[in-house]
Structure 1
Amino acid sequence: MSVPPAAAAERLGGPALPRSVHAGYGVGAVATHVFSTVPSLLLLIYLTDALAVAPALAGFVVVAPKAVDIVASPYIGMRSDRTVSRWGPRRPWMLAGTAALPVCFALLFAGLPLQGAPAALYVLVVFTAAALAASVFQVPYAAMPGEITDGYHERSALQGWRTVFVGVALLLGGALAPVLVDSTGPGRAIEGYRLMGVVMAAVVLAAMAACVYGTRSAPLRRRVGRTRGLADQFRSALGNPHFRRLLPTAFLQVVSSGTMIAGVPYVTGHVMGEPGYTALLVVCVTVPLIATMPLWTAVSRRLDKRPTLALAGAFFIAGAIGLYFIPVMGGLPWAIAMSVVVGTGNAGCTMLPYSMLTDCIAATRAVSGRHQAGVLAGIWSSMEALGAALGAQLLSAALAVSGYRQSAAGEAVEQTDRALQGMLIGSTLVPAAVMLGSVLLLRLYRLDAAEMARLTAADA
């Protein structure tokens, strides 16, 4: 006899966390998502349209640093699993990331007097350092919810708070950052990028510090000081069937979102002819991300997480396909409407995969007694970083194939109709197709409330 999701979840309770921990944990998402959003939105066009880097080389610069995370993030996770301190295993690492990432972020958009290949090399080196610093914070941050509560739906509540702050990060990184770039006036793009980098670095610093401080009262779980090597940990983590099935689903979602985000300034600047629309469309995506969070939380309690995530993916796909028709459906009003649909779906696609990750962490602990939260979170973090970068790479490939012409700051270059069509397809239909693949893979995932109740009962 099947158990309704809500009834099964009632067996998976635990002491409620104070709101201060919810908020303290959630605010960390401002830092992680400002760092992911700003480069996803602006780094490719910064390279191609301000530093005169060819699209193919620019795509490589965006992807290569993230590839380092494939090894670095799981290693960081393993080391944080082994960390013993009065602050717990995660917060010392998060503090180290707090010290390093803001500096790297400001340097990334410093706008040194370089163009072409030398500029690409500089950005490659600094972006690699920034990616590593971000992982030092992000990996233990992602591991924390699976350890500080045993509540199946409280983990969703934590991710709900996180998702609201993701919305704040999108407003800052996706709406404010382009405005700052444009604020220095025509022909002064380099100065605009430099100003944006400093302001966003300050935002990242404040959010990280608030998260480290705000989670100080989170329950501490004793970690195992001696664990196996990284290769064995990696094999064991991927041997977890629930995690193994969730990972590619989430990866394709990140690729889809990354492709669309990277395409926004190209579509607004070249297809719609107004770069200022970038901030407006990001706001249209972000408002439903915040406003619909209680709705997605309620739906997931009723239907469980997997079908709710599939529904969110369907919203994203519908909105992405709709955005392809911007030129024939009236321009800005249609773009606003479809951006709201995308944002509604993106809300569920932002909250639920992280909640399901923490379920996988809890299930691993219940079944085997192993504390692998850091390693699983490390693999997850590397997947997110690589997925977002590959999204930008997909768009850069579409630009290169369609004949997009790079330019230096202040230089006006007219794009061909073929290039305009390429950037439109790459920004809309390609993300929709990738998201469809994610929804289809989701059918393989089986860890629901009833299964968690069974695993927890067996462990007890």
Structure 2
Amino acid sequence: MTGPLPPSVRRGYAAGSVATGAFGTVPGLLLLPYLTDVVGIGAAIAGLIVFLPKAWDVVIDPFVGRISDRAADRRGRRPFLLWGGLLLAIAFALLFAGPTGVPALSGVYVVVLFVACATAFTFFQVPFMAMPAEMTDDYDERTRLMTWRVVVLALAILVSGGVAPMLVNAFGGEPTADGYRVMGVFVGLLIVAGALGAYLGTARAPERRRPAAAGSIAEQLRIIVQVADFRSLLLTFVVQALGIGALLAAVAYGAKDLLDSSLAATLLFVAFVGPALVVTPFWERVAARRDKRHGYVLASVTMIVGMLALLVAHTGSLVLTCLAAGVAGIGYAGAQVFPLAMLPDVAGRDAERSEENRIGVFAGLWTAGETLGMALGPAIFALVLAIGGYLSSTEGEVVVQDDGTRLAIALGFSVLPALLVAVSLFFLRHYRHDSEREEVAREHR
């Protein structure tokens, strides 16, 4: 069994979360309002535009995982971090730099550039997700590695999710096309920093290379979906991603239409993500004292309580809404640490048993599921907006939403994500890896 990783490797790997945090946060937070409130596209169509490129991502993720498995046996997965991250940064900066005068043309432009972003992100994210299972086979070390990653992820989300709305509003106090363009360049630079940090920082990381599994991608997927623990973990994580995606999409609307504050989106983000900088080590201790599955359940229940409390936003109280977001954020920190630490446990055990490397396909299917959840979340919230009668607008146009629409926004901001996270726990009941590990440990004692 490998020993603890050098701290420099933990920090280097965690640096990749700057790229994943920025790209995973900002489109879900700002792309939908960019389409509805700057370009002037209707909510339902805008939700479809946000979803379609993600659907493409879902299709190619397992194939990219297969490509990275074959490359891992020869030159490792690190080169994907470099060029995948740099291409993602360029595509993201261009995403918000298109025309805004003709809604149809703008919509086509966004779809094309978002597909480019999604493709580049896949070539970064899938190898990045696969690396921990090959860097160490120590159960507790994987939790420590993910603790570092989630702390950096939280910092990246705070910076990107907090600063990006401020840049969007930097020209006149309201969202403008110029503000979105500046924001795109800023986030692109964050992605470059994360990609370079991960590539350089993992140069000394151990690599356990195995021959890539034989057979077609379809055969590998059939094998993977038959792994009960992976199936349970993936379904849990995907349904939670639906809830988190819906919540992220709702933040801008809650800030504007419920809390009536241009700074509310930034403050809510700080309240939601900030606790991870403090409480993530606590979740690591929970895993050490009990196990990762119990910690995941406790974190999810905490997140549900906080999400339900977000309904207070309907009263217009920014302080109470931020407090509720803080409770949800405490749970969110654990709900990131545990599944990310459990995935390499499951994928690594499969590699040990089969003596074949399909870890990249595991990571590809995982990334596809997460992408699907984070894409469908905003689409579901967009449907809630459409049902609630949300009135879209163009840049400079002021629209006041009626009481029914404001209630729809409040429910989409609180009850909807809480319900989805609650449903996800049904699937986690079937996860058995930690129980089997305890039985083995007792036998050795």
Task: Identify the TM-score tier after normalising by the shorter chain.
Answer: over 0.9
The equivalent of 1:171 in structure 2 is 158
Aligned to 1:54: 42
CA drift of 1:326 comes to 2.5
Q: How far apart are the structure 2 equivalents of 1:77 and 1:70?
A: 12
Conserved 8 A contact 2:155-2:274: no
Unaligned stretches of 5+ in structure 2? none
Residue identity opposite 2:248 in structure 1? I
Q: 2:412 aligns with which of 416, 426, 434?
A: 426
- Superposed counterparts of 1:55-204, under 5 Å: 55-83=43-71, 88-186=75-173, 189-204=176-191
Q: 2:364 aligns with which of 372, 378, 381?
A: 378
Aligned counterparts of 1:274 and 1:168: Cα–Cα separation in 2: 23
Structure 1 residue 325: Cα displacement: 2.1
Pairwise CA distance, 1:140: 0.2
**Deviations, residues 65-91 of structure 1 (Å, cap 9, x unaligned):** 1111222111011011011577x4211
Residue 144 of structure 1 aligns to a residue whose secondary structure is helix
Question: What is the distance in 1 between the residues matched to 2:312 and 2:339?
Answer: 29
Letter in 1 for 2:192: L
Shifted more, 220-229 versus 337-346: the winner is 220-229
Give the CA deviation at 1:186: 3.9
CA distance in 2, matches of 1:316, 1:201: 30
Are positions 1:33 and 2:18 aligned together?
A: no
Alignment of 1:328-407 (within 5 A): 328=315, 331-407=317-393
Conserved in 1, the CA contact under 8 Å of 2:84 and 2:121? yes
1:84/1:331 CA distance change after superposition, 3 Å: closer
Of the structure 1 ranges 206-215 and 318-327, higher mean CA displacement relative to structure 2 is found in: 318-327
User: Structure 2: how far apart are the matches of 1:297 and 1:226?
Assistant: 33
Show the counterpart of 1:23: 11
Residue 242 and residue 188 in structure 1: after superposition, are their counterparts in 2 closer, same or farther (change >3 A)? closer
Given that 2:38 and 2:175 are in contact with CA atoms closer than 8 Å, whether structure 1 keeps it comes out as no
User: In 2, are the aligned partners of 1:55 and 1:400 still within 8 Å (CA)?
Assistant: yes
- Once the two structures are superposed, residues 397-416 of structure 1 have per-residue CA deviations (whole angstroms, 9 ceiling, x without a partner) of 00000100111111111111
Give 1:338 deviation, angstroms: 0.4
For residues 372-398 of structure 1, give each alpha carbon's deviation from its aligned partner in whole angstroms, at most 9, with x where no partner exists.
110000001111111101000110000
Instruction: State the distance in 1 between where 2:99 and 2:242 align.
Output: 30
Matched, 1:238 2:225: yes
- Greater Cα shift, 425-434 or 236-245: 236-245
**Residues 83 and 452 (structure 1), Cα distance of their counterparts in 2 relative to 1, 3 Å cut:** farther
SS across alignment from 1:33: helix
- Give yes or no for contact 2:213–2:356 (8 Å, CA) kept in 1: no
Letter in 1 for 2:415: L
Q: Distance in 1 between matches of 2:423 and 2:213?
A: 39
Distance 1:52 1:375 in 2: 39
Cα distance in 1 between the residues matched to 2:304 and 2:206: 39
Taking the aligned partners of 2:284 and 2:252, their CA distance within structure 1 comes to 31
Aligned pair partner of 1:267 in 242, 245, 254: 254
Aligned sequence identity (%): 38
Matches of 1:305 and 1:95 in 2, distance apart? Answer: 31
Is 1:296 aligned with 2:283?
A: yes
Query: How far did residue 150 of structure 1 move?
Result: 0.9
Task: Judge conservation of contact 1:316–1:346 (CA < 8 Å) in 2.
Answer: yes
The answer for the alignment partner of 1:316 in structure 2 is 303
SS in 2 for 1:325: helix
**2:14 aligned partner, one-letter code:** G
- Compute the displacement of 1:131 (Å): 0.5
Residues 107 and 378 of structure 1, relative CA distance in 2, 3 Å threshold: same
The residue type equivalent to 2:3 in the other structure is P
Query: Contact 1:53 / 1:119 at 8 angstroms: preserved in 2?
Result: no
Shift of 1:99: 2.5
Using the alignment, how far apart are the partners of 1:331 and 1:318 within structure 2? 18
CA distance in 1, matches of 2:129, 2:41: 34
Give how far 1:452 is off: 7.5
What is the rounded CA distance, in whole Å, between the counterparts of 2:292 and 2:356 in structure 1?
24
C-alpha RMSD of matched pairs (Å)? 1.8
TM-score (norm 2): 0.96
